[in-house]
Amino acid sequence: MNEYKTLTRTEVSVGDKLPTADIDITTGLVVCGALATRDFEPVHHSKAAAQAVGLPDVFMNILTSQGLMTRFATDWSGPEAVVKSVDLRLGAPNIPGMLMTVSGEVTALDKDSGLVDLAVTGENNIWGMHMQGTVQLTLPKES
């Protein structure tokens, strides 16, 4: 039945690298991401509003960055992992036309509780670090 694989706590080790993900930052992703997170601040859908605060174009809202970081973690772990926390430091804005590369690594693992810490970084090709942080997940004992 279980066509979706979830990593178990015995299958991961500190130092494991997560598969990197390239995410095209498009106007669609920025604007629709803001809409999907009900963030209607004009800087996320109006280029004129974004330019008024000194940026060349609309920029990604924090809730979208959070969503992408969580997705990156659970794409790796599989769906039966439980997300416990997302601790995000914000860097340079994501603007349409950029490419964000997300990478990550297992930095801590408690085999008893199944709690893993993932250090995740999203860097865009123009301004560098967009988001950096830790996602904590609980992995199951067995699949």
Partner 1 sequence: MTTDEQKAIESEIYAFIGQEVYPPTPAADDINEAMIRQWAEIMGDNNPAYLDKDWTANSFRGKTISPPAMMYVWGQEGFQVTKGRAPNAMSNLVSVFDKHGYTGVLGTNVKQEYFKEVSPGDNVTIEMIIDNISERKTTGRGTGYFFETLSTFTDQRGEKIGTQRFKVLKFIPQEQPSAAATEDKLDVPTRIASPRGHDNKWWWEACDDGKVLIQRCKSCQTLRHPPRPMCGECQSMEWDSIESTLDGEILSHTEIHHPKIPGYQYPLVCAVIKLAEGTNFVANIIGCSPSEVHIGMKVKGVLEQVDEKTMLPQFYPA
Interface residue list for partner 1 (CB under 8 A): 1-4, 23, 29, 32-33, 35-42, 51-57, 62-64, 66-71, 74-75, 79-80, 82-90, 95-98, 123, 125-129, 140
State the nearest-atom distance from the C-beta of 117 to partner 1, in Å: 13
**Cβ proximity of 9 and 109 under 8 Å:** yes
Partners of residue 108 on adjacent β-strands: 117
Distance CA(121)–CA(138), nearest Å, equals 20
Pick 1 or 112: Cβ nearer partner 1: 1
Give dist(CA 44, CA 24) in Å, integer.
16
CB of 73 to partner 1, least distance (A): 10
φ, ψ of residue 33 to 5 degrees: the values are -65, -40
Tell me the closest approach of the beta carbon of residue 124 to partner 1, in angstroms: 8
